[in-house]
Copies of this chain bind each other. A is one copy, B any other.
Amino acid sequence: MKESPGVVDLLGVLAYAELSAFARMTEDATSLAPTLADRAALSELAVAEYAHFRLLRDRLAELGADPEAAMAPFVEALDSWHALTKPADWLQALVKTYVGDGIALDFYREAAKRLDPSIGSLVDEVLVDEGRSAFAVEQVRAGIEAEPTAGPRLALWARRLVGEALSQGQRVAAARPELALLLVDPGADDQAEISRLFAKLTEEHGKRMAALGL
């Protein structure tokens, strides 16, 4: 069990990622959903993100950390990501939910591998919700079936989502070396390891795109 400053950083970045995902998904649901039922379905996913935020915030407090201070260093990078990836329509919003959730889950899995049992039970609770993305997958696949030209357009969109995520991620890794060190094997060549982690995230992303039919 590592109890470095990196743990607080990791919980802090995940907490703000969940809080900001909650806000943006709610906004997208409200402004882009084609029906009230769709709006409720995406709002439901947003509320699940808020529940994850609550778990992370409470865990930070249990560790004696100030949750606000732990989140603060990551607000700008995550807000920038959201500002640079504002969906223009409902299918873009769903792809963003799926891609964003997927990248977050990859981070939880890395955390579970390296920090267990410190935050193991928390990660378990978050991963239980994984099936929720089925809603986004079904809707996107149906959308592409109904309008095949949407496929290439959404594939480009997904590429942009990940590109902007990796770019903000590199910024954060450079600014928070403790966090970066937490995610790589001790004693390894940091820069090379971080690059390998990013390559892995990209690979997992590719699998999710295949699930969407993109």
Query: Roughly how many angstroms separate A35 CA and B72 CA in the complex, as a whole number?
Result: 10
Chain B residues with CB under 8 A of A54: 44
Query: Roughly how many angstroms separate A23 CA and B16 CA in the complex, as a whole number?
Result: 19
A3-32 residues at the B interface, CB under 8 angstroms: 16, 19-20, 22-23, 26-27, 29-30
Chain B residues with CB under 8 A of A26: 22-23, 26-27, 46
One of B20, B36, B47, B72 near A47 (C-beta < 8 A): B47
The reply to whether the CB of A43 lies closer than 8 angstroms to some CB of chain B is: yes
Contact A68 B35 (CB under 8 A): yes
The reply to whether the CB of A71 lies closer than 8 angstroms to some CB of chain B is: yes
Chain A interface, number of residues (Cβ within 8 angstroms): 28
Known: A47-B50, A50-B43, A50-B47. A29 touches B36 (CB 8 A): no
Known: A26-B27, A27-B26. A19 touches B40 (CB 8 A): yes
Chain B residues with CB under 8 A of A75: 36
| Stoichiometry (number of copies) | 2
Q: Which residue of B lies closest to A53 (CB)?
A: B40
Query: Roughly how many angstroms separate A19 CA and B26 CA in the complex, as a whole number?
Result: 10
The reply to whether the CB of A39 lies closer than 8 angstroms to some CB of chain B is: yes
The reply to whether the CB of A37 lies closer than 8 angstroms to some CB of chain B is: yes
Chain A 23-67 interface 0/1 with B at a Cβ cutoff of 8 Å (1 = within): 100110110000111011001101100110110010000000001
Instruction: Name A's B-contacting residues (CB within 8 A).
Output: 16, 19-20, 22-23, 26-27, 29-30, 35-37, 39-40, 43-44, 46-47, 50-51, 53-54, 57, 67-68, 71-72, 75
Q: Would you list 8 pairs from A and B whose C-beta atoms are within 8 A, ordered by A residue?
A: A19-B39, A20-B30, A26-B46, A27-B27, A40-B53, A40-B57, A44-B54, A47-B47
4 interchain residue pairs of minimum CB distance: A23-B30, A26-B26, A36-B68, A47-B50
Beyond contacts A35-B68, A36-B72: 13 other A-B pairs, Cβ-Cβ < 8 A, are: A19-B43, A23-B29, A23-B30, A26-B27, A26-B46, A27-B30, A36-B67, A36-B75, A37-B68, A44-B50, A47-B47, A47-B50, A47-B51
